[in-house]
Amino acid sequence: MIVLATTTVDILRSDPDDGYAEPYAGKTPADREVVATGIRAVIDIPVGRQAGLEKVAGGEQTRTELRLAADPCDLTRLDLIKDNRTGWIFQVAWVVNYPGNGPAGDLGHVEAGIVHIEGLV
């Protein structure tokens, strides 16, 4: 459990069969199932950086890389995260589960690299 939360997030998961769909099949976050809601979280800059990383590709796309710390949850690299405070949808780049060290695992949490992309993909 994280000590301080600044937002809550929802986990959006695609149907396993969608892994075989065509890349440009028109699937959107709305086509995904919400598998968890209201997870306490913090979205901030990655550790060791002075600011979040933002890349502009040809003036057509902005890619912002941030870090998520959240209460224990079933998050995978294939999921999307919805920030309930801003409404932004993030792709999950990597996930690390920390099991916690208390007798009830009360300090366990999940960390993930998340990416927000705007513009042409």
Mean pLDDT by 10 residues, the chain (121 residues): 93 78 69 94 79 64 88 94 96 92 74 87 57
Report pLDDT for 5. Answer: 95
Report pLDDT for 119. Answer: 74
Decide if 2 is inside a domain. Answer: no
Decide if 34 is inside a domain. Answer: yes
Question: What domain range is 106 assigned to?
Answer: 7-119
Decide if 1 is inside a domain. Answer: no
Provide the whole-model pTM.
0.81
Decide if 93 is inside a domain. Answer: yes
Report pLDDT for 107. Answer: 72
**Token match 């920030």: residue?**
83
Decide if 48 is inside a domain. Answer: yes
Alpha carbon distance 106, 71 (integer Å): 10
Report pLDDT for 3. Answer: 86
Report pLDDT for 92. Answer: 96
Report pLDDT for 99. Answer: 85
Residue 61, φ and ψ in degrees, nearest 5: -145, 140
Decide if 64 is inside a domain. Answer: yes
Decide if 50 is inside a domain. Answer: yes
Closest CA to 39 of 93, 102, 79: 79
Alpha carbon distance 84, 82 (integer Å): 6
Domain count, the chain: 1
Alpha-carbon Rg for the chain, nearest whole angstrom, is 15
Alpha carbon distance 121, 111 (integer Å): 26
